[in-house]
Structure 1
Amino acid sequence: MELTSSLIYHKGFIWFWLTRLASGFGFQMLSVAVGWQVYTLTGNALDLGLIGLAQFFPSLVLALPAGQAADIFTRRQIIVVTRISELIAIIILALMSFYQVVDKWIIFTLLVWIGSFKAFEYPAMQSIVPSLVPEKLLPKALALNSSASEMAAIVGPALGGFIYIAGADIVYMITALLYFVAVVCMFQVPLPAIKPQRGAASFATLFAGVRFIRQRPVILGVISLDLFAVLLGGATALLPIFARDILHTGPWGLGLLRGAPAVGALLMSFWLARHMMNRHIGMIMFASVAAFGAATLVFSFSQWLWLSLLALVLLGAFDMVSMVIRGALVQLDTPDEMRGRVSAVNAIFINTSNQLGEFESGVLASLVGAVSSAAIGGVGTLVVVGLWMWWFPQLRKRQKLTD
């Protein structure tokens, strides 16, 4: 296999992929257990929203300092420290559940703790990949890297829900074990041969990533395209409404709908990991985002479960194509000493678009209905593609990942 012959010899990346896989499964199982446990304790839907807020808020506040840290300190060490810190919080959750001394405010506090360290983990995780593989293999590495997250997103929640039958403490214990495996695998990732001299932290360097992006039309176009495409194309937030009121299916159907985009993304990630994209990169990216919008339109008007599932599978597949290209362009057009801070700014855009996209879809659905809301999002995505092709000609004309 081409994948085996190209990436398998880079053992540092394989160990990194394994740590992504273990921690990804652990985090998905953790999310299911926390949500179910909190709702069982309180029966309040608002508390489910607070779970997301407890993790989102610190990631937003700490994003820029986290990016600066990733450009000053050794990235492998940052990942190890953050994973160990998250592991400690998970062990506390397991002990609380085992001794039945669970309190929702303690859970929220631990989630803020986890979210804070994940804020430092993200830019280090994103910016370490280019140092593990040759430049020409970076798109394949990013695709394979995404496959770990997609596999965890598909299997992890179902596995966590099944194990929860034995008790929340069992889920937390297994999650802690997975995080421990992730830490051990991360220790196998080699340190850079020469530690780069990146200078001391200052207020000016804190915002250097923002200035760098503003001065690079290609990077600015890539990141802002992702922001507005996700912001408008948030039909997945409305899946419960489509499942019950439009497709007339039950919880099993909702589960299929939720898993369909991840299935498409996973299949596409395997294909991208074996095939190199060498020409018309900019147009391929724009075409994939446009196809994402078209798939959203098909889903919004579909009256059949099979067609809705197909549209969501295609939606996830096209999103994976654009995500790999966007990620590769950002990493390759950014010097190593800036990758942490640029990744941190990118994280702000991604987190904001995901959260606001769900909020926008919900508000719009309450005003014009779920079908119209999803359709407006699909049309809006197509409009954004057209505008960005006009406003960012350098991105439209980009032929190769490396300029």
Structure 2
Amino acid sequence: MDPYAALRFKEFNIFLIVRFSMVFAWSMQFIVIEWQVYSMTKDPLSLGIIGLMEVIPAVSTALFAGHIVDQKEKRNLLIKCILGFSIISFGLFALSLPSVLAEWETQQVLYGIYFLVFLGGIVRAFLGPTIFSLIALIVPKRIYPNAATWSSTTWQLAGVLGPALAGFSISWIGVHWSMCVIFGFSVFALIFLSQISRKPILNPKIGEPVFQSLREGLKFVFGTKAIFGALTLDMIAVLFGGAVALLPIYAQDILHVGAEGFGVLRAAPAVGAALMMFGSTRFPLHKNAGKKLLLAVFGFGICIIVFGLSTSFWLSVAALFLSGGVDGISMIIRQTILQLKTPDNMRGRVASVNSMFVGSSNELGAFESGVAAKLLGTVAAVVFGGTMTLLTVGITAWVSPTFRNLDLQDDVKAHEAED
């Protein structure tokens, strides 16, 4: 297959610019918030609370959001999501004003940050399903795997630059002006999104009762072994392998590398993932997808354990870099499974369940890591998470031979024939 097939569609290139801008802004914002909150509290539990404040609304509204996405026009819905993010980022910019920090009590500022993060969780519940659904309306079905790879690569590339710039910008211009940069990227995304045309609504059941719609979506996900297996495996791995949530502690108290070192550590996994994803555009992963996904998650667990035990900055960077590489493989395979196995009229609901399983497990993982670090100590918490990831892979491979032997080649050929 042409490795640049999806890039030959103008609107898909515009979509990638929008996605890059939003992921860049969101990932940079999360890092700046983590740094600010830990600097204010010096409490690892506060990092966990950040994750919890985002995951509660994201999970509780996810299914409802999926129903709305399947019922509404996708381009305009994405515009509303980005507007919501822009308002939140501007609010965080205002909270980081020197005059606010000087006049308000620390607890007041913290509660303001947590509240805005909570609102961000609601926005994210709609953002993920909308983006997932919009891709399928921009490119033809025969190149879904290629489009999924480029979309995931863009996501990871933004995840490289966002955290890296966050670390350096905190050092160079401070938290306040870093938040201004984030707001600027959200406005940039809105400008480019206006160049994508409105898309048709492919759901034949417009006006379907909410609970009936949600029931059908859950029934489809739980009844499709390939989707359910991929989501479950990734959810548990990310939940227990959330070492990145503790990076402010490693940067400040264990490795002693400051804000710039923190930026390098935070960017290392995304660098590895982005490089792996660029390579995968020439070497598709749909053959023996089940075995490759299991091996990728197993490798992720090993890397997390090495990082947890390391006291060397560059060994820690290398472990995080490799963890990103194998996680990139996992992400591409999972996104390919979702794109190939999901009918057009259910993409919003399936993507919402995906956000509940995998997307929100990042924040739950941050909370789990914060609590574990408080109870066990930082190093023990990270090693425990990596060990649980390895156990998850072993159990999945043992109890689910159908998933272990999953191969997507026939699905790819079927979509090529359909187009």
**For the superposition of Structure 1 and Structure 2, which TM-score range results when normalised by the shorter chain?**
0.7 to 0.9
Q: RCO higher in 1 or 2 (8 Å CA, sep ≥ 6)?
A: 2
Residue 318 of structure 1 pairs with residue 329 of structure 2? no
Q: Does the CA-based 8 Å contact 2:233-2:396 persist in structure 1?
A: yes
Q: 1:17 to 1:390 in 2, by over 3 A?
A: same
Q: 1:245 to 1:207 in 2, by over 3 A?
A: same
Q: 1:373 to 1:85 in 2, by over 3 A?
A: closer
Q: 1:185 to 1:274 in 2, by over 3 A?
A: farther
Equivalent in 376, 381, 393 of residue 389 of structure 2:
381
Q: CA deviation at 1:284?
A: 1.3
For 1:70 and 1:207, locate their aligned partners in 2 and report how far apart those are by CA, in whole Å. Answer: 15
Q: Could you tell me which residue of structure 2 aligns to residue 16 of structure 1?
A: 15
Equivalent in 206, 214, 226 of residue 199 of structure 1:
206
Q: Does the CA-based 8 Å contact 2:51-2:364 persist in structure 1?
A: no
Q: CA deviation at 1:314?
A: 1.2
What amino acid is the match of 1:175?
A: I
Q: Does the CA-based 8 Å contact 2:71-2:201 persist in structure 1?
A: no
Q: Could you tell me which residue of structure 2 aligns to residue 26 of structure 1?
A: 25
Q: Could you tell me which residue of structure 2 aligns to residue 174 of structure 1?
A: 181
Q: Per the alignment, in what secondary structure is the counterpart of residue 24 of structure 2?
A: helix
Q: Scaled by the length of structure 2, what TM-score is found?
A: 0.82
For 2:215 and 2:177, locate their aligned partners in 1 and report how far apart those are by CA, in whole Å. Answer: 43
Q: Could you tell me which residue of structure 1 aligns to residue 238 of structure 2?
A: 230
Q: Per the alignment, in what secondary structure is the counterpart of residue 8 of structure 1?
A: helix
Q: Does the CA-based 8 Å contact 2:265-2:317 persist in structure 1?
A: yes
For 2:21 and 2:358, locate their aligned partners in 1 and report how far apart those are by CA, in whole Å. Answer: 23
Q: 1:384 to 1:175 in 2, by over 3 A?
A: closer
Q: Does the CA-based 8 Å contact 1:71-1:198 persist in structure 2?
A: no
Q: CA deviation at 1:193?
A: 5.0
Q: CA deviation at 1:241?
A: 5.8
Q: Does the CA-based 8 Å contact 1:329-1:402 persist in structure 2?
A: no
Q: 1:401 to 1:18 in 2, by over 3 A?
A: farther
Q: Per the alignment, in what secondary structure is the counterpart of residue 207 of structure 1?
A: helix
Q: Could you tell me which residue of structure 2 aligns to residue 156 of structure 1?
A: 162
Q: Does the CA-based 8 Å contact 1:260-1:309 persist in structure 2?
A: yes
For 1:290 and 1:176, locate their aligned partners in 2 and report how far apart those are by CA, in whole Å. Answer: 37
For 1:395 and 1:275, locate their aligned partners in 2 and report how far apart those are by CA, in whole Å. Answer: 21
Q: CA deviation at 1:324?
A: 0.9
Q: Could you tell me which residue of structure 2 aligns to residue 277 of structure 1?
A: 285
Structure 1 unaligned spans of 5+: none
Q: Could you tell me which residue of structure 1 aligns to residue 414 of structure 2?
A: none
Residue 135 of structure 1 pairs with residue 141 of structure 2? yes
Q: Could you tell me which residue of structure 2 aligns to residue 214 of structure 1?
A: 222
Q: Could you tell me which residue of structure 1 aligns to residue 194 of structure 2?
A: 187
For 1:243 and 1:127, locate their aligned partners in 2 and report how far apart those are by CA, in whole Å. Answer: 38
What amino acid is the match of 2:402?
A: Q
1:118-167 superposed Cα distances (whole Å, 9 cap, x missing partner): 22112111222233223343233223222333333332244345556556
What amino acid is the match of 1:22?
A: S
Residue 340 of structure 1 pairs with residue 348 of structure 2? yes
Q: CA deviation at 1:236?
A: 3.4
Q: Per the alignment, in what secondary structure is the counterpart of residue 356 of structure 2?
A: helix
Q: Could you tell me which residue of structure 2 aligns to residue 64 of structure 1?
A: 63
Q: 1:207 to 1:245 in 2, by over 3 A?
A: same
For 1:293 and 1:229, locate their aligned partners in 2 and report how far apart those are by CA, in whole Å. Answer: 8
Residue 250 of structure 1 pairs with residue 257 of structure 2? yes
Q: 1:197 to 1:187 in 2, by over 3 A?
A: farther
Structure 2 unaligned spans of 5+: 412-419
Q: Scaled by the length of structure 1, what TM-score is found?
A: 0.85
Q: 1:101 to 1:402 in 2, by over 3 A?
A: farther
Identity of aligned residues (%): 35
Which stretch of the first structure deviates more once superposed, 158-167 or 141-150? 158-167
For 1:218 and 1:265, locate their aligned partners in 2 and report how far apart those are by CA, in whole Å. Answer: 23
Q: CA deviation at 1:224?
A: 0.6
Q: How many residues align?
A: 400
Q: Does the CA-based 8 Å contact 2:48-2:368 persist in structure 1?
A: no
